[in-house]
Structure 1
Protein backbone atom coordinates (compact mmCIF):
# COMPACT_ATOMS: atom_id res chain seq x y z
CA UNK A 1 0.00 0.00 0.00
CA UNK A 2 2.74 2.46 0.95
CA UNK A 3 4.71 2.10 -2.34
CA UNK A 4 1.53 2.81 -4.29
CA UNK A 5 0.81 5.93 -2.20
CA UNK A 6 4.38 7.16 -2.69
CA UNK A 7 4.11 6.55 -6.43
CA UNK A 8 0.89 8.56 -6.59
CA UNK A 9 2.37 11.29 -4.38
CA UNK A 10 5.50 11.67 -6.51
CA UNK A 11 3.44 11.69 -9.70
CA UNK A 12 1.08 14.26 -8.18
CA UNK A 13 3.98 16.65 -7.51
CA UNK A 14 5.01 16.47 -11.17
CA UNK A 15 1.43 16.71 -12.41
CA UNK A 16 0.54 19.69 -10.23
CA UNK A 17 3.67 21.61 -11.17
CA UNK A 18 3.42 20.70 -14.85
CA UNK A 19 -0.31 21.07 -15.45
CA UNK A 20 -1.48 23.68 -12.96
CA UNK A 21 1.60 25.84 -12.49
CA UNK A 22 3.06 25.78 -15.99
CA UNK A 23 0.78 24.42 -18.72
CA UNK A 24 -2.32 26.24 -17.45
CA UNK A 25 -0.30 29.17 -16.12
CA UNK A 26 -2.09 29.32 -12.76
CA UNK A 27 1.13 30.28 -10.94
CA UNK A 28 2.72 33.18 -12.87
CA UNK A 29 5.89 32.93 -10.76
CA UNK A 30 6.85 29.83 -12.77
CA UNK A 31 6.73 31.75 -16.07
CA UNK A 32 8.72 34.56 -14.45
CA UNK A 33 11.42 32.07 -13.43
CA UNK A 34 11.57 30.65 -16.96
CA UNK A 35 11.76 34.20 -18.36
CA UNK A 36 14.62 35.05 -16.03
CA UNK A 37 16.60 31.92 -16.90
CA UNK A 38 15.79 31.38 -20.60
CA UNK A 39 14.81 34.91 -21.61
CA UNK A 40 11.45 36.66 -21.83
CA UNK A 41 10.95 36.39 -25.59
CA UNK A 42 9.73 32.81 -25.60
CA UNK A 43 9.01 32.28 -21.90
CA UNK A 44 5.25 31.58 -22.27
CA UNK A 45 5.81 28.84 -24.85
CA UNK A 46 8.83 27.38 -23.05
CA UNK A 47 6.96 27.39 -19.74
CA UNK A 48 4.12 25.38 -21.30
CA UNK A 49 6.59 22.97 -22.92
CA UNK A 50 8.35 22.45 -19.58
CA UNK A 51 4.92 21.85 -18.06
CA UNK A 52 4.14 19.23 -20.70
CA UNK A 53 7.46 17.57 -19.94
CA UNK A 54 6.59 17.48 -16.25
CA UNK A 55 3.22 15.92 -17.07
CA UNK A 56 5.16 13.33 -19.07
CA UNK A 57 7.33 12.60 -16.03
CA UNK A 58 4.16 12.11 -13.94
CA UNK A 59 2.86 9.61 -16.49
CA UNK A 60 6.22 7.84 -16.56
CA UNK A 61 6.18 7.55 -12.75
CA UNK A 62 2.67 6.09 -12.86
CA UNK A 63 3.56 3.66 -15.66
CA UNK A 64 6.24 1.92 -13.63
CA UNK A 65 8.34 1.53 -16.80
CA UNK A 66 12.11 1.48 -16.10
CA UNK A 67 11.72 2.88 -12.56
CA UNK A 68 15.45 3.34 -11.93
CA UNK A 69 15.90 5.35 -15.11
CA UNK A 70 12.80 7.34 -14.20
CA UNK A 71 14.18 8.07 -10.74
CA UNK A 72 17.58 9.07 -12.13
CA UNK A 73 15.95 11.46 -14.62
CA UNK A 74 13.75 12.94 -11.89
CA UNK A 75 16.67 13.48 -9.52
CA UNK A 76 18.80 15.00 -12.29
CA UNK A 77 16.02 17.35 -13.36
CA UNK A 78 15.13 18.40 -9.82
CA UNK A 79 18.74 19.12 -8.87
CA UNK A 80 19.56 20.96 -12.08
CA UNK A 81 16.34 23.02 -12.10
CA UNK A 82 16.70 23.99 -8.47
CA UNK A 83 20.38 24.85 -8.84
CA UNK A 84 19.65 27.14 -11.79
CA UNK A 85 16.70 28.73 -9.98
CA UNK A 86 18.65 29.31 -6.76
CA UNK A 87 21.50 30.84 -8.72
CA UNK A 88 19.59 32.95 -11.26
CA UNK A 89 16.17 33.65 -9.72
CA UNK A 90 16.24 33.16 -5.92
CA UNK A 91 13.92 36.13 -5.38
CA UNK A 92 11.19 34.40 -7.41
CA UNK A 93 11.26 31.11 -5.48
CA UNK A 94 8.52 30.37 -2.98
CA UNK A 95 11.00 29.86 -0.12
CA UNK A 96 14.01 31.53 -1.69
CA UNK A 97 17.19 29.51 -1.48
CA UNK A 98 15.53 27.27 1.13
CA UNK A 99 13.76 25.65 -1.83
CA UNK A 100 16.98 23.65 -2.20
CA UNK A 101 16.23 21.88 1.08
CA UNK A 102 12.81 20.74 -0.13
CA UNK A 103 14.27 19.71 -3.48
CA UNK A 104 16.98 17.68 -1.75
CA UNK A 105 14.42 15.98 0.50
CA UNK A 106 12.25 15.13 -2.51
CA UNK A 107 15.31 13.69 -4.29
CA UNK A 108 16.17 11.61 -1.22
CA UNK A 109 12.61 10.29 -1.11
CA UNK A 110 12.75 9.31 -4.78
CA UNK A 111 16.19 7.75 -4.33
CA UNK A 112 15.26 5.76 -1.23
CA UNK A 113 11.91 4.65 -2.62
CA UNK A 114 13.42 3.48 -5.92
CA UNK A 115 16.91 2.23 -5.07
CA UNK A 116 16.71 1.16 -1.43
CA UNK A 117 13.17 0.23 -0.39
CA UNK A 118 12.45 -1.59 -3.66
CA UNK A 119 15.34 -4.02 -3.28
CA UNK A 120 14.41 -7.58 -2.46
CA UNK A 121 15.68 -8.69 0.91
CA UNK A 122 18.54 -11.21 0.89
CA UNK A 123 17.59 -14.77 1.81
Structure 2
Protein backbone atom coordinates (compact mmCIF):
# COMPACT_ATOMS: atom_id res chain seq x y z
CA UNK A 1 0.00 0.00 0.00
CA UNK A 2 1.45 3.42 -0.93
CA UNK A 3 2.45 5.53 2.06
CA UNK A 4 -0.19 8.23 1.49
CA UNK A 5 -3.02 5.69 1.43
CA UNK A 6 -1.59 3.89 4.45
CA UNK A 7 -1.50 7.17 6.39
CA UNK A 8 -5.12 7.89 5.43
CA UNK A 9 -6.22 4.45 6.64
CA UNK A 10 -4.41 4.96 9.96
CA UNK A 11 -5.96 8.45 10.29
CA UNK A 12 -9.42 6.94 9.81
CA UNK A 13 -8.65 4.28 12.42
CA UNK A 14 -7.44 6.86 14.94
CA UNK A 15 -10.49 9.04 14.26
CA UNK A 16 -12.77 6.04 14.78
CA UNK A 17 -11.27 5.43 18.22
CA UNK A 18 -12.12 9.01 19.21
CA UNK A 19 -15.58 8.88 17.59
CA UNK A 20 -16.58 5.55 19.14
CA UNK A 21 -15.34 6.51 22.60
CA UNK A 22 -16.93 9.94 22.32
CA UNK A 23 -20.30 9.32 20.72
CA UNK A 24 -21.18 5.74 21.58
CA UNK A 25 -19.47 5.34 24.95
CA UNK A 26 -20.03 8.81 26.40
CA UNK A 27 -22.71 10.83 24.57
CA UNK A 28 -25.09 7.88 24.05
CA UNK A 29 -23.92 6.27 27.33
CA UNK A 30 -23.63 2.76 25.88
CA UNK A 31 -20.72 2.21 28.29
CA UNK A 32 -21.85 3.63 31.66
CA UNK A 33 -18.41 2.88 33.11
CA UNK A 34 -17.18 6.09 31.44
CA UNK A 35 -19.59 8.19 33.48
CA UNK A 36 -18.51 6.36 36.63
CA UNK A 37 -14.89 7.27 35.86
CA UNK A 38 -15.82 10.92 35.32
CA UNK A 39 -17.82 10.89 38.58
CA UNK A 40 -14.87 9.42 40.46
CA UNK A 41 -12.46 12.04 39.11
CA UNK A 42 -14.61 15.18 38.80
CA UNK A 43 -17.44 14.42 41.23
CA UNK A 44 -20.93 13.00 40.86
CA UNK A 45 -22.87 16.26 40.77
CA UNK A 46 -22.39 16.97 37.07
CA UNK A 47 -20.90 13.66 35.93
CA UNK A 48 -23.56 12.99 33.27
CA UNK A 49 -23.21 16.45 31.70
CA UNK A 50 -19.42 16.39 31.90
CA UNK A 51 -19.28 12.90 30.36
CA UNK A 52 -21.46 13.99 27.43
CA UNK A 53 -19.36 17.14 27.01
CA UNK A 54 -16.15 15.11 26.95
CA UNK A 55 -17.78 12.79 24.40
CA UNK A 56 -18.72 15.71 22.15
CA UNK A 57 -15.15 17.04 22.39
CA UNK A 58 -13.81 13.59 21.50
CA UNK A 59 -16.07 13.54 18.42
CA UNK A 60 -14.66 16.98 17.59
CA UNK A 61 -11.17 15.50 17.83
CA UNK A 62 -12.19 12.85 15.28
CA UNK A 63 -13.37 15.58 12.91
CA UNK A 64 -10.11 17.50 13.40
CA UNK A 65 -8.11 14.36 12.61
CA UNK A 66 -10.05 13.73 9.41
CA UNK A 67 -9.79 17.39 8.35
CA UNK A 68 -5.96 17.19 8.34
CA UNK A 69 -5.94 20.87 9.40
CA UNK A 70 -2.81 21.57 11.47
CA UNK A 71 -2.29 17.81 11.69
CA UNK A 72 0.90 18.05 13.75
CA UNK A 73 -0.83 20.19 16.37
CA UNK A 74 -3.69 17.72 16.31
CA UNK A 75 -1.30 14.82 16.94
CA UNK A 76 0.39 16.69 19.80
CA UNK A 77 -3.02 17.46 21.34
CA UNK A 78 -4.06 13.80 21.06
CA UNK A 79 -0.82 12.55 22.61
CA UNK A 80 -1.09 14.96 25.54
CA UNK A 81 -4.78 14.24 26.11
CA UNK A 82 -4.43 10.45 25.94
CA UNK A 83 -1.42 10.54 28.26
CA UNK A 84 -3.09 12.87 30.77
CA UNK A 85 -6.44 11.03 30.78
CA UNK A 86 -4.81 7.65 31.22
CA UNK A 87 -2.42 8.72 33.98
CA UNK A 88 -5.31 10.29 35.90
CA UNK A 89 -7.48 7.18 35.41
CA UNK A 90 -4.54 4.91 36.34
CA UNK A 91 -4.25 6.74 39.66
CA UNK A 92 -7.89 7.60 40.46
CA UNK A 93 -10.02 4.86 38.91
CA UNK A 94 -8.05 1.74 37.94
CA UNK A 95 -10.87 -0.53 39.13
CA UNK A 96 -13.26 1.04 36.59
CA UNK A 97 -10.97 0.64 33.57
CA UNK A 98 -11.70 -2.09 31.03
CA UNK A 99 -8.28 -3.71 31.55
CA UNK A 100 -7.41 -2.15 34.89
CA UNK A 101 -3.91 -0.71 35.15
CA UNK A 102 -2.96 -2.49 31.91
CA UNK A 103 -4.97 0.22 30.11
CA UNK A 104 -1.89 2.43 30.42
CA UNK A 105 -0.03 0.06 28.08
CA UNK A 106 -2.86 0.20 25.55
CA UNK A 107 -2.77 4.00 25.80
CA UNK A 108 0.99 3.97 25.21
CA UNK A 109 0.51 1.87 22.07
CA UNK A 110 -2.17 4.28 20.85
CA UNK A 111 0.14 7.24 21.51
CA UNK A 112 2.92 5.47 19.57
CA UNK A 113 0.57 4.91 16.61
CA UNK A 114 -0.45 8.60 16.61
CA UNK A 115 3.18 9.71 16.87
CA UNK A 116 4.46 7.35 14.17
CA UNK A 117 1.62 8.18 11.81
CA UNK A 118 2.19 11.93 12.05
CA UNK A 119 5.88 12.45 12.69
CA UNK A 120 7.70 9.56 11.06
CA UNK A 121 8.03 9.83 7.33
CA UNK A 122 8.08 6.94 4.89
CA UNK A 123 11.56 6.11 3.66
CA UNK A 124 11.71 4.29 0.35
CA UNK A 125 14.24 1.48 0.09
CA UNK A 126 14.52 1.77 -3.70
TM-score, normalised to structure 2, is 0.92
Q: SS in structure 1 opposite 2:101? A: helix
Which residue is 1:114 aligned to?
118
How far has the Cα of 1:2 moved from its partner? 1.0
CA shift for structure 1 position 117: 2.6
Cα-Cα RMSD? 1.2
**Equivalences, count:** 120
Whole-angstrom CA distance in 2 between matches of 1:36 and 1:66: 34
Q: How does 1:74-93 map to 2 (within 5 A)?
A: 74-93=78-97
Per the TM alignment, residue 4 of structure 1 is displaced from its structure 2 partner at its CA by 1.2
Cα deviation code 1:72-110 (max 9, x no counterpart): 000000000000000000000000000000000000010
Choose which of 52, 56, 71 in structure 1 pairs with 2:56: 52
CA distance in 2, matches of 1:76, 1:38: 19
The CA deviation string for residues 36-92 of structure 1, in whole angstroms up to 9 with x for no partner, is 000000000000000000000000000000010000000000000000000000000
Paired position in structure 1 for 2:31: 27
Equivalent of residue 101 in structure 2, options 97, 100, 105: 97
In the alignment, structure 1 segments of 5+ residues that lack a partner are none
Match of 1:6 among 3, 10, 21: 10
Q: Which runs of 5+ in 2 are unaligned?
A: none
Q: What SS is found at the alignment partner of 1:94?
A: coil
Write out the 4+ residue segments of structure 1 that deviate beyond 2 Å after TM superposition: none
